[in-house]
Amino acid sequence: MARPKIALIGAGQIGGTLAHLAAIKELGDVVMFDIAEGTPQGKALDIAESGPAEGFDAVLKGTNDYADIAGADVCIVTAGVPRKPGMSRDDLLGINLKVMKSVGEGIKAHAPNAFVICITNPLDAMVWALREFSGLPREKVCGMAGVLDSARFRHFLSVEFGVSMKDVTAFVLGGHGDTMVPLVRYSTVGGIPLPDLIEMGWTSQEKLDAIVQRTRDGGAEIVGLLKTGSAFYAPATSAIEMAEAYLKDQKRVLPCAAYVDGALGLNGLYVGAPTVIGANGIEKIIDIKLNRDEQAMFQKSVDAVKGLVEACKGIDPSLA
Ligand code: APR
């Protein structure tokens, strides 16, 4: 059986890391596309040359021609510009919306059967726009944010509790922005919900509140340190987890930016939600019950995403 084909649209910091991880994990053959001449070719060759020492079997190719993504099983989109210090994800809207138009048209023409994972920010609005421009089925187009946000939450919690990250689960809901909703009640250490751990005296409400805020600001913290771009290792790893769930039909329960219609009180919006990812793409949205405070936070996040979608329609009337 032929190896799966993974197309990476954007061969920058995240794109390069995605290619490296996909090759090391032998998820399939990799095509890296970028408008910058030489960059995807150079990165693909560099990673291919690590194959003998690493011991993987995967073909890597770099290209500036959309025709080379033909028949891709998975497309991961990072094309666009990242944040610089002082910028919010929303500041990227106008520039990256234009990029989504060309990427959506490229995917529509050459890889209409792919499972598409968008990483470009501002995430929730860009996934929506990419779906509109590509015309692919909604269950085949999603965005990577929740896996990253919950990984950051899990990392901070594991440090606070002094336990393995493997034994910490965390749930993050809503848009990938300042209004994201880390769900403390549904997050656990060894299966014990965080509120119980406060009662047991293992941590305090103040410490937990600080961790929640640090999770919300997780992207900005990295931008502030790097100064010339935004995070790329953890975002790439998170998207690879989603791609693997699709390619191997794992039915993973993962939070991601998905089209929610008839769950969580929403009627047709791309926003971060708990999903099941398998061979059919986003196979299910998990309609969890929220308490009043959580619902209020989620609503704020939903409103922020709706505002960005409206802004996209204002910029590009073909989306209205
Ligand atoms: N088509 C294809 N590639 C493009 C296009 C386009 N229209 N416009 C820009 N690119 C490419 C750039 O040439 C660059 O190689 O996208 C790549 C982006 O890479 P980086 O600038 O290194 O950005 P990266 O850190 O990978 O982040 C990409 O993901 O997390 C988000 O906010 C982040 O929106 C940003 C995206």
98 CA: nearest ligand 1 atom: 7
E-assigned strands of 74-227?
A: 74-77, 115-118, 141-143, 168-173, 181-189, 192-193
CA–centroid distance, 208 to ligand 1, in Å, is 34
CA–centroid distance, 194 to ligand 1, in Å, is 37
Backbone angles phi, psi at 277, to 5 degrees: -110, 125
What residues are in contact with ligand 1 under a 6 Å CB criterion? 9-15, 34-36, 39, 78-83, 92, 96, 99, 102-103, 119-121, 229-230, 232, 235
Please list, in sequence order, all residues whose beta carbon lies within 8 angstroms of the beta carbon of residue 278, skipping any fewer than 6 positions away: 245, 246, 249, 250, 251, 252
Q: What is the C-alpha separation between 257 and 174, in angstroms, rounded?
A: 8
Tell me which residue of 52, 266, 299 sits closest to 138, measured CA to CA: 266
Q: Is 10 annotated as a binding residue?
A: yes
Q: Give the closest residue (by CA) to ligand 1 atom 7.
A: 99
Task: Name the pairing type of β-strands 115-118 and 141-143.
Answer: parallel
Instruction: Name the strand (E) or helix (H) holding 236.
Output: helix 233-247
232 CA: nearest ligand 1 atom: 25
Q: Is 285 annotated as a binding residue?
A: no
Directed axis angle between helix 146-161 and helix 218-226, to 10°? 90
Q: Give the closest residue (by CA) to ligand 1 atom 14.
A: 12
Backbone angles phi, psi at 31, to 5 degrees: -115, 125
Question: Between the CA of residue 211 and those of 152, 154, 162, 235, what are the distances in Å?
Answer: 10, 10, 14, 19
Burial readout 192-225 (b: 16 or more C-beta within 10 A, e: otherwise): eebeebbeeebbeeeebeebbeebbebbbebbee
- Spell out the per-residue pLDDT of the chain, length 320, in tens: 899 999 999 999 999 999 999 999 999 999 999 999 999 999 999 999 999 999 999 999 999 999 999 999 999 999 999 887 888 888 889 999 999 999 999 999 999 999 999 999 999 999 999 999 999 999 999 999 999 999 999 999 999 999 999 999 998 999 887 888 999 999 999 999 999 999 999 999 999 999 999 999 999 999 999 999 899 999 999 999 999 999 999 999 999 999 999 999 999 999 999 999 999 999 999 999 999 999 999 999 999 999 999 999 999 999 98
Contact 54, 24 (CB under 8 A): yes
Q: Give the closest residue (by CA) to ligand 1 atom 35.
A: 82
- Token pair 């910028």 is found at 87
Q: Is 169 annotated as a binding residue?
A: no
Neighbouring CB atoms inside 10 A of 229's CB total 16
Q: Give the closest residue (by CA) to ligand 1 atom 25.
A: 13
Q: Give the closest residue (by CA) to ligand 1 atom 34.
A: 120
Q: Is 119 annotated as a binding residue?
A: yes
Q: Is 177 annotated as a binding residue?
A: no
CA–centroid distance, 274 to ligand 1, in Å, is 26
Is the pTM higher than 0.90? The answer reads yes
CA–centroid distance, 180 to ligand 1, in Å, is 23
Q: What is the C-alpha separation between 204 and 209, in angstroms, rounded?
A: 9
CA–centroid distance, 143 to ligand 1, in Å, is 15
E-assigned strands of 96-240?
A: 115-118, 141-143, 168-173, 181-189, 192-193
| Active site (annotated) includes residue 176 | yes
Task: Name the pairing type of β-strands 192-193 and 181-189.
Answer: antiparallel
